[in-house]
Structure 1
Amino acid sequence: MFGIVIILLTTASCSSDSVAQVPQFLPGKQVGTVQTELIREASGIVASRKNPKVLWLHNDSGDSARVYAINFDGRLLGIYRIKEAHCRDWEDIAIGPGPEPEQDYLYIGDIGDNGAEHKSITVYRVPEPKVDPNGALAQMQVGPANSIELVYPDGPRDAETLMVDPLNGDIYVITKRELLSKVYRAPYPQSTKQRTTMDQVATLPWGLAVGGDISPNGKLVIVRGYFNASMWVRPDGEELWRAFMRKQLRLDLMEEPKGEAICFDASGGGYFTVSEMVHPPIYYFGRSVVSDKSND
């Protein structure tokens, strides 16, 4: 009987630890408004980890090959043209490692394909530039970009979610126009000289995925649709894609007209969202419970 009690107490303790690993978030609040009219369809967003309180955004199709740096208030800090890049249908942006150690890179996903007619998609990679939050508006070129050309193993797809694993540089693309969105991976190092065929590694429990991000420590994954968002926890030592086989944590979103962009903050302690419109609000969802195991 004593042994049974120990087992039950141990089980309860493990269950409590498991619950503690799941982060909880506060209700969203507006922290700023995108102040420039140059950003009319913010399709992707990512928080800089080297430039404090800087967000990188880009437009959907129709803009030139450039990205924008803003602060949390939404003030435009810089316009950065990407050399040797083309904008067919840019849909998402990520930050991750690359060829040079200790260097953060911007990854820009030219992955939109509404008609599922293009044989390949392209991810552009450039070193993340330094941004002066107190200086005059910066306008410069960065690059030239590395072009990473990717192919689906099962034919063309439309996608709007690009993520880069901060622990190993693997690229993840999640499709949009499916009943259940599919997750594809291109392991690092990706070729910049020839096409790379991705592997399908997971399937989401829902479809119409339009944006996503991985926390800077690689332990949390967030993916959103237009009206829903979910998070998955990645245990230590596990491949990122296996997190999608675990239970999802449903997250709150604010009501946004065609909201597509989502990203973690630089610490992984909360997440931002923004929508495709002129002067969209910038929403932030802070952490209410921080788990040591998921946010080391």
Structure 2
Amino acid sequence: MKRSLIRLLSTGVLAAVAIASEGASAAVELPDLAPKRLLPSAKLEGPPHTREVSGIVASKQWPGVFWLHNDSGDETRIYPMRRDGSMITSARGDDRPGVLVGGVINSDWEAIAADASGHIIIGDVGNNSNGRRDLALHYVVEPEPTAGFTGLLKSVFVRYPEQKEWPAPKHDFNYDCEGIFTVGDTVYFVTKRRSDSLARLYRLDHPKTGVVNTLEIVADFDVRGRATAADATLDGRRLVVLTYTAIWMFESTAPGRDDWFDGSVWWLPFEGAPGAEGVCFDGTDTILVAAEEGNGHLYAVNTASLHKVR
């Protein structure tokens, strides 16, 4: 769905519209608000603290467990954490934390998701150079949190339909992704664009192994920055998109639809969480933000503190 409709908001505020290369994209006018300083709710233990936290997702199999991962440079590990930031000890021992994933490499792990069928999906979709042709989702059966090892179930390779050159030219540097999420078993991508301030949403339908799957463009929204993470509630009704300086929350107009950018919008500018590159819902009313630069903290944000802007 490529939106071209300019909406007149019920409040009488006209939504701004930015024209992207693939059509029109919506944006809302924002109030003049000072950034809210986020206060840490937990200190991360172990390697997610000392390295670069790039993703977090709530387990759908183990209540109270959250899976985190690091950027390139770490081993191919995912880390089971509790809400208080403490790490669940691996069967390999305290000095070998995390669940080691066999059969893959960490080219640039930037996102993580959990689907309805019991899989953890690792997004090896970081693409700072906009030149990668091996962007992939790695599926593993969600391990028991104390497991030391798990094996790769499958890898699904993807491409963006509008990318025609590798690397992309500087005026079209829009094919990096740091946010994936699921609704049921469907995987969505939110790209971190560098030639504008949009977040572009894509959907992966009927993923196949052994081929490069072409993503489907769903919609654009102007998030006034670069999208660094995304997640949806279990029912798929709410979507959160994180940038380095703001939290955006969208609500679909009806269950089962991927029209979040058409529905209600909430926004919260923030400071105090440098390098914020991980976000997930904890239930429907709490958003967890993980920051990677220097502090290794989790930040809990109640959705009631966000400002409704549409």
Band the TM-score falls in, shorter-chain normalisation: 0.7 to 0.9
* Mapped pair 1:194 → 2:194: no
Measured against aligned partners, the alpha-carbon deviations of 1:181-231 in whole angstroms (never above 9, x if no partner) come to 2111111x3112211101111112124100010101111000010001111
Which amino acid in the other structure matches residue 35 of structure 1?
E
- For residues 21-40 of structure 1, what are the structure 2 equivalents within 5 Å? 29-37=39-47, 39=49, 40=51
**For 1:80 and 1:56, how far apart are their aligned partners in 2?**
10
Q: Corresponding residue for 1:87?
A: 106
The alpha-carbon deviation at position 81 of structure 1 amounts to: 1.3
Counterpart selection for 1:67 from 74, 78, 82: 78
* Mapped pair 1:273 → 2:295: no
Q: TM-score when scaled to structure 1? A: 0.78
- Any idea what SS the aligned residue of 1:248 has? strand
- For residues 46-125 of structure 1, what are the structure 2 equivalents within 5 Å? 46-77=57-88, 78=90, 79-98=98-117, 104-125=118-139
Which amino acid in the other structure matches residue 147 of structure 1?
S
The alpha-carbon deviation at position 86 of structure 1 amounts to: 1.6
- For residues 121-200 of structure 1, what are the structure 2 equivalents within 5 Å? 121-131=135-145, 138-155=146-163, 157-166=175-184, 169-178=185-194, 179=196, 180-187=198-205, 189-200=206-217
Counterpart selection for 2:253 from 235, 250, 259: 235
Kept in 2: contact 1:84–1:145 (CA 8 A): no
Higher helix share: 1
Kept in 1: contact 2:253–2:262 (CA 8 A): no
- Any idea what SS the aligned residue of 1:76 has? coil
The alpha-carbon deviation at position 38 of structure 1 amounts to: 5.3
More relative contact order, 1 or 2 (CA 8 Å, 6+ apart): 1
Kept in 2: contact 1:45–1:262 (CA 8 A): yes
Q: TM-score when scaled to structure 2? A: 0.74
Provide structure 1 residue ranges, at least 5 long, that are not aligned to the other structure: 1-10, 12-25, 99-103, 132-137, 290-296
Aligned length: 249
> Cα gap change, 1:148/1:110 in structure 2, threshold over 3 Å: closer, same or farther?
same
**For 1:256 and 1:142, how far apart are their aligned partners in 2?**
32
Which amino acid in the other structure matches residue 141 of structure 1?
F
> Cα gap change, 1:88/1:253 in structure 2, threshold over 3 Å: closer, same or farther?
same
Which amino acid in the other structure matches residue 138 of structure 2?
Y
- Any idea what SS the aligned residue of 1:115 has? coil
Q: Corresponding residue for 1:209?
A: 227
Measured against aligned partners, the alpha-carbon deviations of 1:42-73 in whole angstroms (never above 9, x if no partner) come to 01001113212211100011112110011112
**For 2:177 and 2:217, how far apart are their aligned partners in 1?**
13
Question: Identity percentage over the alignment?
Answer: 27
Provide structure 2 residue ranges, at least 5 long, that are not aligned to the other structure: 1-9, 11-35, 91-97, 169-174, 306-310
Kept in 2: contact 1:37–1:278 (CA 8 A): no
**For 1:83 and 1:145, how far apart are their aligned partners in 2?**
10
